[in-house]
Structure 1
Amino acid sequence: MKQLFFLLLTLLGATAAQAQGVLTFDKELHDFASVPEGTLATHEFRFKNTGNQPIIIANVQASCGCTTPDWTKTPVLPGKSGIVKAVYSSAGRPGIFNKTVTVMSNAATSSTVLTIKGNVLNKEQLRSTLTPAQLAQSPRLKLDRTSHDFGKMEAGQSLTARFKVTNTGKQELVLGAVTSPCYCVGYKNVPSPIKPGESAMVELVYSQRKLGAQHEEVTITSNDLSGDAKLTLDATVVKDLNAGSMVKESTVSVPFK
């Protein structure tokens, strides 16, 4: 009787062990080959749950801060598919790169390592490898204006400037990183690629704590081989905007009448 009982336990344990999701990727390595410096090199690793239980991806961890992961957050049922996206920021990182993202889940194999690699070329290097005909096919970034004045703003306040970006080239325009000496300018949302002949609104967020008149020179990198886009942001940063509504009458501060 005891032998039968232990046999049943063993069979139940084996059945439970087999009841798991299986994370099957179409590939675990992607080679970008040559990447123009300044672009956000993006690849979506696609997977399918080939097991018999739902899969939940708990976390995806990148090997460095230059790589940003994203993934399917909802449970992936048996037979269904999902993605793990890796975005490598190539701005200021010329040369060969080899980065990984580690996928952690409740699948039968709890940890899977995905790899992206490539060679970041500055635009001078890239232009030298292309024929005139290939260069003519390059995307072209055109801004509706090259400056924005926020006027008076409070220290630490975050304001948004909107610029219209048009792709006047013949290939898809991919915007890369936003850089500035103050490290105080960035995208509100990462812009999507812009098709030839189309336009998109790009929102830049500006936050500055340094007081006084500010003049920021900003660079928007992209896969436009003719060069990066330059623009300026201006603002007068004050400690407290409400302080401007007060005047001195004798020794007492009172609001404007």
Structure 2
Amino acid sequence: MKHVFSFLLALLVAAAAQAQGMLKFEQELHDFGSVPEGTMATHEFKFRNVGNQPVIIANVQASCGCTTPDWTKTPVLPGKTGIVKAVYSSAGRPGIFNKTVTVTSNAASPSTVLTIKGNVLNKEQVKSTLTPAQLAQSPRLVLDRTTHDFGKMEAGQAPVARFTVKNTGKQELVLGAITSQCYCVGYRNVPSPIKPGQSATVELVYSQRKLGTQAEPVVITSNDLNGDAKLTLKATVVQDLNAGSMVKESGASVPFK
């Protein structure tokens, strides 16, 4: 009887060990080839759960801050598919790149490393490969203005500046990353590719904490081969806006009501 119980227990343990989800990726390496600088190189790694239990991806960690991952957040049932997306920001990074994203899940193999690689060409390199006729067909980025003044703002606030971007070229305009010396400017929304002759609103968030009068140069990269768009965000940054609303009355400081 004891041997029968041990045998049954062994069967249960073996069955439990086999009852697991399993991720099978269509590919674990993607080569972008040549990528024009300023674009966001994006690839979706597709996978299928070939196991017999649901798989939940707990985290996807990129090997550098230049790569942004995203993935299927809901449980992937047996036989179903999902994706892990990797977005490489090529702005200011000409040359060869080789980056990884590590997928952690409750699958039988709890860790999978995916790789993206390619070669970022600067705009002069890209232009050298095109004919004059091809250059004439390229997109053109035109801003409605090149300066925005927030006026007085409190340190730690994140006001938004809205710019209108028009594509006066003959191909779709794709906006890339934003660069600034303060690393305090980012998109609140990134518009979809802008068709020739069309316009879109771009919202830039300014999170400046340095006090005083500021004038921050900002560069918006894109696939416009004529160059990147440059603008300036201005502000007078104070520690506390309420402190500026005090006036002297009868020798005492009294706030406005």
Provide the TM-score with structure 2 as the length reference.
0.91
Which amino acid letter does the alignment assign opposite residue 168 of structure 1? Answer: T
Distance 2:7 2:133 in 1: 73
**AA aligned opposite 1:149:** D
- 5+ long unaligned stretches in structure 1: none
For residues 97-151 of structure 1, what are the alpha-carbon distances to aligned partners after superposition, in whole Å with 9 as ceiling and x for unaligned? Answer: 0001111111122111111000011101111122223323322222222221111
Aligned-partner SS, 1:11: helix
User: Are 1:108 and 2:74 matched, yes or no?
Assistant: no
Report the number of matched residues. Answer: 257
**Root mean square deviation of aligned Cα:** 1.9
- Taking the aligned partners of 2:160 and 2:11, their CA distance within structure 1 comes to 62
Residue 70 (structure 1) aligned with residue 41 (structure 2): no
Shift of 1:227: 0.8
Secondary structure of the 1:14 match is helix
Q: Distance in 1 between matches of 2:256 and 2:12?
A: 81
**What is the Cα deviation at residue 250 of structure 1?**
4.3
Structure 2 vs 1, CA of residues 175 and 12 (structure 1 numbering), >3 Å: closer, same or farther? Answer: same
Equivalent residue number for residue 121 of structure 1: 121
1:167-218: CA deviation from partner (whole Å, max 9, x where unpaired): 3334332222211223221112444433444433211111223333222221
Q: 2:146 aligns to what? A: 146
Deviates more, 1:189-198 or 1:13-22: 189-198
Name the structure 1 match of 2:16. 16
Aligned to 1:211: 211
C-alpha separation in 1, matches of 2:103 and 2:183: 31
1:10-89 matches, within 5 Å, as 10-89=10-89
| 1:2 lines up with 2:8 in the alignment | no
Which residue number corresponds to residue 247 of structure 2?
Answer: 247
**Cα distance in structure 2, aligned partners of 1:59 and 1:256:** 50
The answer as to 2:185 corresponding to 1:185 is yes
Report the secondary structure of 2:20's partner residue. coil
Structure 2 CA distance for partners of 1:234 and 1:136, relative to 1, 3 Å: same
TM-score by length of 1: 0.91
Counterpart position of 1:194: 194
Separation (CA, whole Å) in 2 of partners of 1:80 and 1:157: 44
Which deviates more, 5-14 or 114-123? 5-14
How far the C-alpha of 1:74 sits from its partner, in A, is 0.8
How far apart in 1 are the matches of 2:120 and 2:203?
A: 26
Residue 175 of structure 1 pairs with residue 164 of structure 2: no
Asked whether 1:163 is paired with 2:160, we answer no
SS at match of 1:142: strand
Amino acid at match of 1:134: Q
- Specify the code of the residue in structure 1 equivalent to 2:15: T
CA distance in 2, matches of 1:18, 1:185: 50
Q: CA 1:224 to 1:110, structure 2 compared with 1: closer, same or farther past 3 Å?
A: same
Deviation larger for 141-150 or 52-61: 141-150
- In 1, Cα distance between equivalents of 2:255 and 2:62: 54
1:80-99, aligned counterparts within 5 Å?
80-99=80-99
Query: Structure 1 residue runs of 4+, over 6 Å off?
Result: none
Whole-Å separation in 1 of the counterparts to 2:78 and 2:199: 40
Identical amino acids, percent of aligned pairs? 83
Could you tell me how far 1:256 is from its partner in structure 2?
4.5
Tell me if 1:238 matches 2:241. no
1:78-102 superposed Cα distances (whole Å, 9 cap, x missing partner): 1221111111122221110000111
